[in-house]
Chain A
Amino acid sequence: MAFRSAVVTFPGSNCDRDMAVALEQVSGTAPKRVWHGDAELPEGLDFVALPGGFSYGDYLRSGSMAANSPIMRSVKRAAERGVPVLGVCNGFQVLAEAGLLPGALMRNAQITFVCRDATLRVENAQSLFTSGYEAGQEIVIPVAHHDGNYFADDETLDRLEGEGRVAFRYLENCNGSARDIAGVLNAAGNVLGMMPHPERAIDPAHGGTDGRALFESAVRSLVDA
């Protein structure tokens, strides 16, 4: 059965095509492309991706304006119904601003933009996004962001850790994130936000294919369900 996914484009998204290519390569089916101004996501989706980029130029705060786009009401309802929602980079910032994930993404501790290969440790290999990895596995996924410094209060961080909601940690913290957190899950486990770009590690030509298993996990979880 076909994997029915959608990639949302906000004004200023710039990894929407990359995300669509990755989803198509891994699942075999091209995702629907959805404009932020649309009122509703397509019916019967198996997966929604909020891509990287600079929605609204990062003006006001990264992700804050996109979080109030018309389509986000529909994304929230889909998330509540249990549809898997992945936010990468700016997509993570949008999910945090929309309240679908706890915490906030602040300016990198070193102030400057950072683009490099980051080694991550898979902390939770049980989620629908990460079941293709082994717990504790080290994977290399590129990062490229200015506002990736994850912040939440200690109580929240303790809860995230206690509930196994830290999906990935940086081996070498590249932005000042609290407790080296690179990606977090919501309580139900169907929403993942992460700063690193798995869609940039799909094809051997990318220099690594460690991002593939994330999308494969999502596809498999649908087939298994």
Chain B
Amino acid sequence: MPNTADTITPKITDEIVAQHGLSPEEYERVLHALGREPNLVELGIFSVMWSEHCSYKSSRLHLKKLPTEAEWVICGPGENAGVIDIGDGQAAIFKMESHNHPSYIEPYQGAATGVGGILRDVFTMGARPVANANALRFGRPDHPKMKHLVQGVVAGIGGYGNCVGVPTVAGETNFHPAYDGNILVNAMTVGVADADKIFYSAATGVGNPIVYVGSKTGRDGIHGATMASTDFEEDAEAKRPTVQVGDPFTEKLLIEACLELMATDAIVAIQDMGAAGLTSSSVEMATNGKAGIRLDMDQVPCREEGMTPYEMMLSESQERMLMVLKPGKEEMAAKIFEKWELDFAVIGEVTDTQHMVLEFGGEVVCDIPLGPLAADAPEYDRPYLSRAEYTEWAGIKPMANRPDSDDVRGDLLKLLASPNLASKRWISEQYDSQVGADTLQTGGDAGVVRVHGTKKALAISTDCTPRYVHADPYEGGKQAIAEAYRNLCAVGARPLAVTNCLNFANPQRPEIMAQFVHALEGMGDACRALDFPIVSGNVSLYNESKATGGGSAILPTPAIGGVGIIADYDAMATMPFKSEGDAIYLVAPEFWSRPDPTRSHLGKSLWLSVVHGRDEGRAPPVDLAAERGAGQIVRRLIEEGVVNAVHDISDGGLAVALAEMALGGNRGADVRASDDYTPAQWWFGEDQARYVITVPADKVDAFNRLVAEGPETDEAEWVGFHRIGTVGGDSLLGASLEDLREAHRSFFRDWMEA
């Protein structure tokens, strides 16, 4: 085949193959797919398309087992984002994605472009983004880099989301030494579209023009996808040039221009240029459309002179989209993009060759058959430990002895001042949570945004408890789903579907692969039991670092983004205590009413680690029937308006849940311990499927009637109500509100002002 000067490569050597992250065996597959040796452009394209990041070669086999369907699912995994029906001809479109390695190297830009990328995945499908959320994991606060990383990531998320005008309404932030050398930045976007105006990526219509819009292509981010597919070496910092630079202003213009064009009937297909840029977008569009594609690389808008086709195809410059237009619509579309001061270029056409052909300087510089590129893509069934072998490897045992709490007040204050339970106001105030003027609540169990112009609202929660997943990947996987379900129920939302962002370490280690496989099984079982399918997601492997000495793996972190719907937001529930005299109830599986102290869980609790410095025991088991029943009943009580505050019980247990309700409402409470449990079990145990609710005095009769009526389903018979106290006063468990507040805000204040 002919070559122009810049693609003439010396024979592709083993070294060049290795530099592209392909194993010798994978290179054999390239030769097979092509039927000849690739040139450098082709090798580059194979390398990014077959990277872990783009090909899911280690995870695909197991992802297939996840439940992805329900009556209300319009589009599950495989497109840019998942789509669900939210009634009245409207759809919610959402996805969560990782930007871990770039954020460790360059926290501001890494986090910012993570937000930018996930926004594009959502508006590509025709949705106006209405909410952002995130899930962040950092290392030890006293790690020398950590303050800088936290400051940079938070500023980056805010810098991008605030500028594009999408409110950040939910998120979670954890600290654990396992993330010292490899932080996790997972960003989620939720958008709303008309259900009959969803845009997909399949390129069809031979001869239809392929159009490039957005920013120009530069040399930034080349091989970002390949970087995301390996462990961090000591030279992590040297990889800074592979981090992209974001421009939220351009993204804002791109959103408006795309939505304006989408309101016409000009678009056949559209795809954002994310990881692996022009390569993955063009290959995916052609493959999904079972078509071919021909691109004239001379037409690609470039930021710099002299860029080669190799660079253009592998650049991860941000804020770019690829579209297939109906013939004759080019001029109209170009006018819209000119108005928004964005580049617009026809760079090729859809063909029927099922080949990707690139031309440059009048010569063909790449000709790849798309069928083999997909069909010959590696897929691995990597070995993994059984659950029993894993437990043995991880050294998980029941606690040898159970400590108790002889100072509940003191322990509560310690917990509230600990990094994982501290007030995250320092973070959340850096995000515009109100833009759009549809935000109904933040800072509670779930963020809630109104569907503009309706009485409906979407609830969004991000969840995962990595220390549970590490102790028991199967139960931990279940728990992540169950907690998302619980958080949505706690605001009165019906949980609809989830997106996941599966952050794990090196899958070539059988113990890490075991974490992945068993966590996915747990998730799948929970999703099936709760009618809560997974409609989109992302896998991020090789999250381990040699940078901090030793091949330290992160805790397995399958972060969940749950979305639910509230039919009428006037009935939405919030967390803070509302008024003096409100009755406080613990909603919990029946065995809490019929005590069985052996089932109470202090293993892997934050109390155990913060107060006793012990990170041990087993993760709490998740009873999915109890979880579903408790959720149903809590939603019913909210809909009927007989409760005025609701909060789920999670990290830190009952005492921390009560403290958060007290601080939110600036009211104390008089609460009783239980004779059947030790103080530590009762106040700090992290048993699942539990909520705290409050019932105002004038609703107690109605509440009792509803409870006496019994549940809608047999499952809810599992649920018990336990009166534990009354709202009032200015203290909780012997601690004044002032002391609780001081403890709660002390961590970030002292850390950031130090």
Contacts and interface: CB of A to CB of B under 8 A. Distances in A.
Contacts of B162: 54, 113, 115, 144, 146
A99 interface: no
Contact of A144 (B248, B340, B432, B440): B432
A111 to B, nearest CB: 9
Given A115-B431, A115-B432, A142-B434, A15 B249 contact: no
Which of B162, B247, B430 has the largest number of chain A CB atoms within 10 A? B162
Interface residues of B, number: 29
Main secondary structure of the interface of A (DSSP, over half): mixed
B437 A206 contact: yes
Contacts of B569: 205
Nearest to B437: A18
Nearest to A117: B434
Contact of B437 (A53, A115, A146, A202): A202
Contact of B253 (A12, A112, A197): A12
Interface string A54-95: 101111000000000000000000000000000000000000
A86 to B, nearest CB: 16
Contact of A114 (B253, B339, B429): B429
Contacts of B250: 57
B253 A200 contact: no
A116 interface: yes
Contacts of A115: 162, 428-434
Nearest to A37: B339
Contacts of A12: 163, 249, 252-253
Nearest to A114: B429
Contacts of A22: 437
Given A114-B430, A116-B429, A11 B437 contact: no
A112 B249 contact: no
A15 B165 CA distance: 7
B437 A21 contact: yes
Given A54-B163, A112-B155, A205-B440, A15 B435 contact: yes
Contacts of A114: 429-430
Contacts of B339: 37
Interface residues of A, number: 31
Contacts of A202: 437
Contact of A11 (B341, B432, B435, B436): B341
Given A12-B163, A115-B431, A146-B162, A57 B437 contact: no
A27 interface: no
A184 B158 CA distance: 27
Nearest to B752: A112
Contacts of A59: 249
Contact of B434 (A112, A144, A146, A203): A144
A203 B423 CA distance: 28
Interface string B31-53: 00000000000000000000000
A14 interface: yes
Contacts of A37: 339
Interface string A182-214: 000000000000000101101101100000000
A199 B438 CA distance: 11
Contacts of B247: 57
B120 interface: no
A9 to B, nearest CB: 9
B475 to A, nearest CB: 37
A14 B252 contact: yes
Nearest to A19: B437
Interface of A: 11-12, 14-15, 17-18, 21-22, 37, 52-54, 56-59, 112-116, 142, 144, 146, 197, 199-200, 202-203, 205-206
6 contacts: A14-B252, A15-B165, A15-B435, A57-B250, A58-B249, A144-B432
Interface of B: 155, 158-159, 162-165, 247-250, 252-253, 339-341, 428-437, 440, 450, 569
> Lowest 3 A-B CB distances belong to which pairs?
A14-B165, A57-B249, A18-B437
Given A15-B437, A57-B250, A115-B162, 16 more contacts: A11-B252, A12-B252, A14-B435, A17-B436, A21-B437, A53-B165, A57-B163, A57-B248, A58-B249, A113-B430, A115-B429, A115-B432, A144-B435, A203-B437, A205-B440, A206-B437
